[in-house]
Amino acid sequence: MYEPLYSDSPLQIKNKIYIFGVHPLHNPKLLFKVYQPMVNYINERIQGSELRLEASRNYASFDKKLFSRYFDFSLPNPYQTVIAAEKGYKIFGKMGDDENFRGIILVRKDSGINEVADLRGKTVSYPAPTALAATMMPQWYMSQHGLDVNHDIKNSYVGSQESSIMNVFLGKSAAASTWPPPWRAFIKERPEVAEQVEIKWQTAPLPNNGLVVRDDVPQTLVDAVSKIIFSMHDDEDGRKILSAMELSRYEKANDATYDGVRQFLKNFEAQVRPIRGLKND
């Protein structure tokens, strides 16, 4: 028989949990180290709701969750951002510092590689097929400099930014693609890598990673989270968190912000290779 429970203290209503997914900028351990402080910062400043950070093993896992609308809030790369907008997510912000959102191509200093053509017949490592700055933009750069990236080189998708860098450091690939923030973070931890590996080429920039929210998340919460994120650079604690991300600020954005990305993707698919429907294993 049912018996009611009684208490002398008020009933504690648990916060509603909202999942915040960050695309594989880093391996999961490092991603939590860098992004959990931001989630904590937000949670300390909102009431009745709680964000919970979720990492993904690789791009394939993240894409599956994002495109099936699993995440409530997310920080996807610009390619994933424009696809998410087609899946019922709203673009409400982005990382600032667009000059950082560019591809870089690394080689060993002793490689003897001086021209893009010197990569012909060699292996180039990347995090994943749909990594925009760290894969697509370098492949576009090589294509624009005379390489057929589908036939002239061997493309090795190794799962993470760190793995891509380590492949060239260890000599498993002749070149490695990544983008500036993970490169700078990596060589802080492994300065010996910078002694032997250098940035050989870099691409032009595109708009940085987006902030998206699923269209059924309450607007009051979106407004509260937005206000917090967009003002992080105004206080010392926020600036420390941003510094670990190699970032000066987050800023407002909308669907039109990513029109240049849409045009890049259209050109890339027409001239380099297809990207939609890829499996990123």
pLDDT tens digits along 215-239: 999 999 999 999 999 999 999 999 9
Q: How confident is the model at residue 277 (pLDDT cuts 50, 70, 90)?
A: low
Distances (CA, A) of 266 to 37, 48, 226, 259: 36, 42, 30, 11
Domain ranges of the chain: 16-98+207-271, 102-202
pLDDT for 278 equals: 52
Domains 16-98+207-271 and 102-202 share a fold: yes
Q: Using one digit for the tens of pLDDT, what is the confidence trace for 38-64?
A: 999 999 999 999 999 999 988 889 999
Q: Which fold has domain 16-98+207-271?
A: D-Maltodextrin-Binding Protein; domain 2 (3.40.190)
Map 5-28 to HEC letters: CCCCCCCCCCCEEEEEEECCCCCH
Residue 244 near residue 182 (C-beta atoms within 8 A): no
Angle at 30 between CA 241 and CA 126, to 5 degrees: 115
Instruction: Provide mean pLDDT across the span 4-17.
Output: 56
| Residue at token pair 């931890």 | 189
Q: Where are the alpha helices (DSSP H) in 135-209?
A: 137-144, 161-169, 180-189, 191-196
Class (C level, CATH) for 102-202: alpha beta
Residue 209 near residue 78 (C-beta atoms within 8 A): yes
Mean pLDDT of the chain: 92
Pick the closest to residue 206 from 171, 143, 253 (CA basis).
Answer: 253
Residue 190 near residue 197 (C-beta atoms within 8 A): no
